[in-house]
């Protein structure tokens, strides 16, 4: 196979370490000039390919690309845009292959979560049917930690660390004022269907009685109002205060989200309107306790200053492995993290076919959640704790992290036709 270009795209919500993966893809590709001529990045993800709006990463210095490793956000822009099936929207796939042909792109690295793996798998299959086979590699990224087969997902370890640290620090604040002020503090975290991030809040304490968080509300455990309020009242009575970590996807037994807003996002998922104020109102109306709540929102996934060193290493490792797999001729696979030992914590990179990953979700196992459904078990703690280990601080200048901004020089367009998404 003659030298061809590679296309790299970031997809969905970004993380504190997705740029570390981008760094790995570009740096590793530069070591394989015999196979990969250049790496083009999609401006705003896959949309950049459809609109032929690509970025020439060769215009960035080695020093700048290396700085991506410690820079949060998505350096090239990301997007929530899901390609439908070939039968539903053939024009999108024809356009994608048209752009790939025009720019001699033979490698496609798609850095995202469940829906992104589905897209990468579809492109792999359809490119063959259309006579221009492209080697498609999924590269895992999701703070939700819900991709199957891989032990964990890059992006999760850092958001888990942020949530655990924030829960511990906020709990100390609330405790100091609980006698005369706030009795209940609620932290809302991400996690639509899988409660991995909420579970990570449990690392704020050792698991001993009375240590916060006192309650975790998981999407996996149907919400029962009476049991919840009883537990809040007991915590305030026994400990003087109550700290709650709630997943945005907390839902009733009938599947309705506590915070359902009645709208959907670009992937067709229910748009959630904020569960923390719903829970807070419930506490006030039924128990009368003074409360405060916080929504971690983008802060939890962008906090590179407190990233997990384990997470940073794994984010780089999957990007590096994806390129190495591609130059070996592999396609329609995703590098996965395989845990080989809990104590000491050890892991290695393996691979799995995209067909086994696309559109599948990995929930928090019941054995990781306590019998009453309000905390994590020892098994859950064993799984989670190694993922937040270690610090990998960015360089600082004048008291602030020194993050990099790329030039993002566009690749010259070759097609006369425009495509509107």
Q: Write out the catalytic residue numbers.
A: 144
Strand partners, 271: 263
**Strands 105-112 vs 4-11: parallel, antiparallel or unpaired:** parallel
CA distance 384 to 382: 6
Strand partners, 337: 349
Long-range (24+ apart) CB contacts under 8 A made by 33-36 are 33/3, 34/3, 35/1, 35/3, 35/4, 35/326, 35/327, 36/3, 36/4, 36/5, 36/6, 36/107, 36/323, 36/326, 36/327
CA distance 295 to 258: 15
Q: Is residue 204 a contact partner of residue 213, using CB atoms and an 8 Å limit?
A: yes
Dihedral sign (CA 302, 13, 308, 63): negative
Strands of 184-189's sheet, edge to edge?
215-217, 242-247, 184-189, 291-295
Length, in residues, of the chain? 421
Q: Is residue 132 a contact partner of residue 100, using CB atoms and an 8 Å limit?
A: yes
Q: In the 8-state DSSP scheme, what is residue 39? A: E
CA distance 133 to 124: 7
Residues 6+ apart with CB under 8 A from 158: 15, 16, 17, 143, 301, 303, 304, 306, 307, 308, 311, 312, 388
Q: In the 8-state DSSP scheme, what is residue 254? A: T
**149, exposed or middle or buried, with CB in 10 Å at 0-12, 13-18, 19+?**
middle
Of all helices (H) and strands (E), which one includes residue 258?
none
């Amino acid at each position: 196979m003659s030298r061809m270009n590679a296309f790299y795209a970031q997809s969905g919500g970004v993380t504190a370490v997705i740029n570390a993966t981008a760094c790995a893809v570009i740096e590793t590709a530069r070591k394989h000039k015999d196979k990969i001529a250049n790496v083009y990045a999609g401006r705003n993800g896959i949309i950049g390919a459809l609109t032929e709006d690509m970025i020439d990463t060769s215009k960035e210095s080695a020093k700048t690309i290396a700085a991506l490793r410690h820079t949060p956000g998505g350096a090239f822009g990301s997007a929530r845009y899901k390609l439908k099936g070939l039968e539903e929207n053939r024009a999108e796939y024809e356009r994608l292959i048209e752009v790939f042909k025009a720019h001699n792109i033979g490698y496609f690295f798609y850095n995202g979560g469940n829906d992104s793996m589905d897209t990468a798998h579809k492109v792999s299959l359809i490119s063959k049917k259309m006579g221009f086979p492209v080697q498609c590699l999924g590269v895992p990224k999701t703070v939700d930690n819900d991709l199957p087969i891989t032990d964990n997902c890059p992006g999760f370890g850092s958001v888990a660390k942020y949530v655990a640290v924030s829960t511990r620090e906020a709990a100390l604040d609330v405790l100091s004022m609980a006698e005369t002020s706030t009795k209940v503090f609620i932290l809302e975290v991400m996690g639509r269907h899988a409660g991995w991030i909420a579970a990570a809040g449990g690392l704020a304490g050792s698991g001993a009685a009375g240590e916060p968080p006192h309650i975790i509300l998981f999407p996996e455990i149907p919400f029962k109002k009476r049991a919840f309020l009883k537990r809040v009242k007991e915590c305030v009575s026994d400990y003087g205060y109550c700290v709650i970590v709630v997943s945005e996807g907390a839902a009733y037994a009938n599947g309705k989200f506590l915070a359902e807003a009645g709208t959907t996002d670009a992937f067709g998922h229910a748009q959630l309107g904020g569960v923390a104020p719903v829970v807070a109102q419930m506490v006030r109306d039924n128990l009368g306790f003074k409360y405060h709540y916080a929504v971690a929102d983008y802060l939890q996934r962008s906090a590179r200053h407190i990233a997990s060193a384990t997470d940073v290493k794994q984010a780089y490792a999957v990007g590096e492995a994806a390129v190495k797999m591609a130059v070996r001729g592999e396609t329609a696979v995703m590098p996965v993290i395989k845990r080989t030992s809990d104590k000491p914590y050890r892991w290695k990179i393996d691979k799995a076919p995209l067909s086994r990953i696309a559109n599948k979700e990995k929930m928090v196992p019941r054995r990781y959640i306590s019998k009453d459904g309000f905390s994590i078990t020892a098994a859950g703690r064993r799984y989670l704790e190694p993922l937040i280990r270690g610090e990998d601080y960015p360089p600082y200048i004048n008291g602030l992290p020194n993050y990099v901004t790329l030039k993002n020089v566009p690749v010259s367009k070759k097609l006369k036709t425009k495509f509107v998404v």
